[in-house]
Amino acid sequence: SSSSSSSSRSLNEAEVKMMELYLERGEFKDGQEVLELGCGWGSLSIFLAEKYPNSRITAVSNSKTQKEFIDGRARDRNIANLQVITQDLNVFKPPLGKNSYDRIVSIECFEHMKNYEVLFGRCEQWLKSGGEAKMFLHVFAHKTYPFHFIAKDESDWMSRYFFSGGTMPSERMFAYFTTNKLHLKTQWRVNGKHYSKTCEDWLRKYDANRKAVEPIIGKTYGKEQTMKWYVYWRLFFLSCSELFSYSDGNEWFVSHYLFQKS
């Protein structure tokens, strides 16, 4: 239908606009060593590799299927400056070692982590010395309170299945984990209504593609679990949309941070 095609077009346009915003706010340029922590299905890794052919992009995720997908897409596009590593970030050591990266970038990954003091300390070590190296982060945040995702029982399915072991940071929380050399330079708030609209568009696409989606869910979670998980994912989109549009998008939202290593 025309509404679903226009929604998919606007969703694609919004994704490109957001990635361009990362490049601007993260102060990326060609010729850099870039480390992406938690690269997902590789949209930003590939965007960076194509935009900056003289940069080298090292992307990390804990999923083998994500690596296979990104490697395939990179081959199709003749991208040679992208390396994807499958590893748990808790034990990850970057291939170039310490003092090696001009930029670290992480999109919606630090919410799934703990022990920020250790994490920020490692990132500081991986960035180059000399005062030019920076780290750009994009996370969900609450305006005032951080909280753990801990599932108390089966009813708390979002903590159990979607953010197990993670954290909802507060907007100012990362400011407390700066290190001797890693300083918070700039911070931005992206109104939650943008994410609410994204979830609504995802939900429309999800429902419109139910026939294709259900076999994937069955393969992932078990055939007898298909209906349960189909509903969980619908509820995920619905509840996130409500959460992020609450209070005109000023209660839960997306936070961007730029840290600089001195």
Cα–Cα separations (whole angstroms), residue 101 to 7, 85, 125, 132, 163 = 37, 16, 9, 10, 29
Q: What is the pTM of this model?
A: 0.91
The pLDDT tens digits of the residues spanning 154-174 come to 666 665 666 666 788 999 999
pLDDT digits (tens, 9 = 90+) for 214-228: 999 999 999 999 999
Residue pair 53/124 in contact by the 8 Å Cβ criterion: no
Percent helix, strand, coil in the chain, to 5, is: 50, 20, 30
How many residues can be counted in the chain? 262
**Residue 41 is encoded by which pair of tokens?**
């299905």
17-45 pLDDT, tens per residue? 999 999 999 999 999 999 999 999 999 99
Secondary structure of residue 127 in the 3-state scheme: strand
Per-residue pLDDT at 27: 98
Helix, strand, or coil here: 137? strand
Residue 40 contacts residue 73 (beta carbons within 8 Å)? no
Q: Which pLDDT score, from 0 to 100, does residue 10 have? A: 87
For 161, which DSSP code?
I
**Confidence (pLDDT) at 168:** 87
Give residue 155's pLDDT.
67
